[in-house]
Amino acid sequence: MLEWFYPKSKNSAVSGLILSVIVVVFLMFKDGGVGWMAVWWMWLFILPWPFLFMLTERNVRVSAGADWVCGGKRSFVNTYELTEVTASVSGTARSIELKDRYGNAFSTQLNDIQRNRELWDLVYNGILHSVYLGGAETNKLAKDFLGLNLPPQYWQQR
């Protein structure tokens, strides 16, 4: 294993705290002060956010080596022997699915593997190799999101 990405639950708690602060500021402007703090049920709109964000956090674990990427315990592909690279959009998240010639598949959200630059470099180099030299099939979204529609002579200028 050369690179990995394991998100920290602290980030989710901080996001929940930020949302709680936003709700407090909104209530202060809406009510014109802090009088709402004496109403017990108003706190139900403020307190649960950090805990809800921590509970709903996705447990993403991605690791990569020189020629492979693995997500969790069962999702493993050889990035230099890919046969299919597919991208899709679900909500606001962009997802990628990789399939290799051995029948293995790996899928994750793009931002999960792009948060660690070195991890993304390992995966992206394998994707480029498979698409341009191995003939892996791609869809239009994958070409657009990953810049796979650029000819190799323009890679340095990008």
Boundaries of every domain in the chain? 7-55, 62-154
Rounded distance, CA 73 to CA 120, Å? 19
Q: pLDDT digits over 75-132, tens only?
A: 889 999 999 999 999 888 899 999 999 999 998 888 888 888 999 999 999 999 999 8
Helix (H, G, I), strand (E, B) or coil at 157: coil
Q: pLDDT digits over 38-58, tens only?
A: 888 888 888 888 888 777 766
Contacts of 12 (CB under 8 A, 6+ apart): 50, 53, 54, 56, 57
- 75: its two tokens: 């999702």
pTM over 0.75: no
Q: What is the dihedral of CA 32, 36, 38, 42, to 10 degrees?
A: -170
Run of H or E including 137: strand 137-138
